[in-house]
Structure 1
Amino acid sequence: MRTMTATEASRKFSDLLDAIERGETITITRGNHPVAEIGPAHRRTGADLRAALAGIPAPDDKFALDISSALELLDHEEADPWADA
């Protein structure tokens, strides 16, 4: 893992992003102390969503009714219902 100072990271930000895009993780230091690790972003996919939702029960009928009721409220052009709250 490569290390660079905060000043160097600031001055060479484009180079820093290029290195991260290539898959590197860079430790940023300030005053010889590590303050951050910057690495490639994690890509999210439909498979990730399916895995995250695995084992969670499907919504029940009441949930579907609650969503329908909420959508009906959005369809009406009324004054803000939260204004008097």
Structure 2
Amino acid sequence: MRTMTATEASRRFSDLLDAIERGERVTITRGHVPVAEIGPARRRTGADLSAALSDVPPLDDRFEDDIADALVYVRDEDVDPWAET
């Protein structure tokens, strides 16, 4: 892992991002003390979302009805959401 000072990272930020984009991880130091580790961002996929939601219980019918009712107010400018029904 490459190491650079905060000053060097600031002055060569574009080069730093290029290195990270190539897959390098860089430790940033301030006063010879490591303060940050920077690496490539993890790419997110639909599979990641599916895995994250796998333990979430399905929504109940009432929740779906509430969302449908709310969307009426978002889509129709003539509907007053505060009017008594």
TM-score by length of 2: 0.84
Write out per-residue CA displacement over residues 9-33 of structure 1, whole angstroms, 9 at most, x where no aligned residue. Answer: 1111121111101111111111111
Separation (CA, whole Å) in 2 of partners of 1:63 and 1:8? 53
Secondary structure of 1:37's match? Answer: strand
Separation (CA, whole Å) in 1 of partners of 2:34 and 2:69? 51
Aligned match of 2:68: 68
Cα deviation for residue 55 of structure 1 reads: 2.1
Unaligned segments of structure 2, at least 5 residues:
none
Separation (CA, whole Å) in 1 of partners of 2:76 and 2:14? 49
CA RMSD of aligned residues (A): 2.1
1:1-80 matched pairs, under 5 angstroms = 1-77=1-77
Identity %: 72
Q: How many residues align?
A: 82
Q: For residue 15 of structure 1, what is the amino acid of its counterpart? A: D
TM-score by length of 1: 0.84
Secondary structure of 2:37's match? Answer: strand
Write out per-residue CA displacement over residues 41-67 of structure 1, whole angstroms, 9 at most, x where no aligned residue. Answer: 010000000100112111110110010
Separation (CA, whole Å) in 2 of partners of 1:18 and 1:51? 31
Secondary structure of 1:28's match? Answer: strand
